[in-house]
Structure 1
Amino acid sequence: MSAAPTWFSDALATPYDRREVDVEGARVTYRAWGEPGAPVLVLVHGGAAHAGWWDHVAPFLTAAHRVVALDLSGHGDSDRRDTYDLETYAAEVLAVAEAEAADTSEKPCVIGHSMGGFVALTAGRDHGSRLTGVCAVDSPVKQMSPEARAWRESGRNAPGNKVYPSREAVVARFRPLPADGATLPYVQDHVAEASVREVEGGWTWKFDPRVFSGAQMEPEELAEAVCPTALIRGERGLATTDITTTVAERLGGHVPVTVVPGAGHHIMLDQPVALIAALQCLVGEWRRPPRP
C-alpha cells in the first residue's frame, strides 16, 4: 500500500462495530463508528462499491453521531437479490438507521455518493418525514453511472464477474470509473483491497453485476422532500452544473450546492479532507436548533 498520512492511518485504525440486519429477505451488513445512542448518520456507497469506501471519512463525523456505512444488497458482504431498485435500497438504508437509532428519538441523516446519492434522494422522497436531512454527493441524475456504462460497453452478459487467478491479480485491475488523475493512491489501495473475494477458481469482485440494472435516476423521479436536501459535486465530477441545477429545481429550488475543487467524481478518493469538512458543516447545520 502507498505511504499514507497520519490522519488516514489513524482513521483506518479507529475501531468500529460490524453488524447486520435482514431487509426483505436479504442480509444487509454494515459497520458503525461512534457512541451508540447518538443521532445516526448513514453513509451510502456508489454502484459496484462497498462500505469500505467510507472507512477514512466516517471516523471524522462521529463527534455528535453514530456513523453507519452499509453494504447495499448485491455489494460488499451483503446478500444478493434477484433484482435491484432504488426503493429497496432506500428501505435498506432506513432499516440500518432504525437498527442503530433504538436508543435515540432523533431522526437519522443520509449521505450517498453517486448511485448512493440516488438512494439518499429516494429515501428523502419516500421517507423524508423520518429523516433529518439527505445529501447526494456527485450523483449524476439522468446519466448512467460510469460503472454501469463501462459494464454494458464491455459486451459482457455473463451473470458473474471475471475470475482472476490470484488476489494480487484482481486487486491490480481495480480502477475507479471514470479515472481521475487526482485520486490519492493510498486511498485507492485501501478500497481496492476490500473490493475482492475468493471464489472457486480464484478471485473476483464482491459486487453482483446485476446491480447496474437499477443504477440510474431520472429527474422525473425526484420530488421535494419534507427534510432538508443538499448536493455536493466534484469540480470535474459527473454531476455537472446543468445536472445540479435541474435537480435543485425539482427539489424545490432551495437546495445548497457545494463544489469541491480539485475533485473528480470520486470525491472521497480525490479530496477526502475537503469532503470531510463539507460533511461536518452540513450535518452540523442540520442538527442546529431552529432559531426562536
Structure 2
Amino acid sequence: MKSFEPLPWSDYFDDLRALETERGSFGVYVAGWPAEGQEPRPVIFAVHGGGYTGLTWSLLAKRLKDKYAVVAMDLRSHGQSEQSDDFSIGAMAQDACSVWNHLCGETKPKTVVLGHSLGGAVAIHVSSLDKIPSLAGTVVIDVVEGTALASLPYMGQVIGRRPDRFSSVQDFVKYAYTSGLTKNFEAARVSGASQVVQDEDGQGWRWRTDLRKTEKWWREGYEGLSA
C-alpha cells in the first residue's frame, strides 16, 4: 500500500530562505549553493507552474546539486511567498529578476532560467527583460503559445472540477497523485504539503493559491511567446 505521508523538503534542498526584496517577500529553496569563499557555480533558476511551488523541482535539485546551484522560488501568492492580487506575467517576471539579483547580483554566475507551464511563460519574459547579465539559456517545459491559447477556454472547467477542500495533507497528496496533477509519486509527496493551507477552523485544508483569481491574466501570459 502506498504511503501518502509528505516527505521533508530538506531531503532535496539545503535551505529555505525568506527573501525580503523591494518587490515583497518570497520563499526561495536553494540547493548546491557554494560555501563562502568557494567559486560560484552555474545556477539553475527554476520557476514552477500555476498552483505549484518551488518544491516542484525537488527531484531535479537533488540530482543536480552536486554540480550546480539550484534556486527554486515560490511565485507570488504561492507557497511561502507573499500574497498579491496581481497575477500578471510581467509582475512575476520582475519578481524573479529581483530574487535573482538579491542572490546572484554580486557574483553574476552563469544562469539558466528554467520554467514549467506558467513558469515557462515567466521564464521567457524574464529572459526578454535583459536583467540577468550572465544569462546562459532559457528552458521551457510544457508551454507552447498556440497550444496554451487553444486550451484557455477549458482551463476554467478543469479548475472548477477540482475539490475545494481536503480532510488532511495526506488526502491532498493522494489527490495530487491519483488525479495526475503531479504524475511522479515521490514528487507529489514532497511538494503536496506546500500547495495547501489549513482552514481557519482547523477542520480541513484548502488550496494555497486560488487559480480562479488569475483568469483575467491567462491570455496575456501566453500571447507572444513564440515571437
Category of TM-score, reference length = shorter chain: 0.7 to 0.9
TM-score normalised per structure 2: 0.76
Deviation at 1:52?
0.8
Q: Please list the CA deviations of residues 136-182 of structure 1 after superposition, one character each: whole Å capped at 9, or x if unmatched.
A: 111132425979944x22686xxxx93334334444432587x48x9
Tell me which of the two structures has the higher relative contact order, counting C-alpha pairs closer than 8 angstroms and 6 or more residues apart: 2
1:94 aligned partner: 97
Give the SS at the match of 1:38: coil
1:258 aligned partner: none
2:190 aligned partner: 190
Assess if the C-alpha contact under 8 Å between 1:80 and 1:208 holds in 2: no
1:32 aligned partner: 30
Structure 1: which 4+ aligned runs deviate by more than 6 Å?
Answer: 145-148
Matched, 1:136 2:134: no
1:167 aligned partner: 169
How many Å separate the matches in 1 of 2:123 and 2:176? 26
How many Å separate the matches in 1 of 2:154 and 2:104? 36
The one-letter code sitting in structure 2 at the alignment partner of 1:119 is V
1:203 aligned partner: 205
1:279 aligned partner: none
Root-mean-square deviation (CA), in Å?
A: 3.4
Q: Note the 1:94-243 alignment, pairs <5 A.
A: 94-127=97-130, 130=133, 131-142=135-146, 143-144=148-149, 149-150=154-155, 152-153=156-157, 162-174=164-176, 179=180, 183-201=183-201, 202-209=204-211, 210-216=213-219, 217-219=221-223, 221-222=224-225
Deviation at 1:129?
5.8
Matched, 1:81 2:84: yes
> For this pair of structures, how many residues does the alignment match?
211
Query: Measured at CA, do residues 2 and 53 of structure 1 come closer, stay the same or move farther in structure 2, by a change above 3 Å?
Result: farther
Deviation at 1:45?
0.4
The one-letter code sitting in structure 2 at the alignment partner of 1:56 is L
How many Å separate the matches in 2 of 1:105 and 1:206? 33
Assess if the C-alpha contact under 8 Å between 1:45 and 1:115 holds in 2: yes
Gaps of 5+ in 2: 35-39
TM-score normalised per structure 1: 0.61
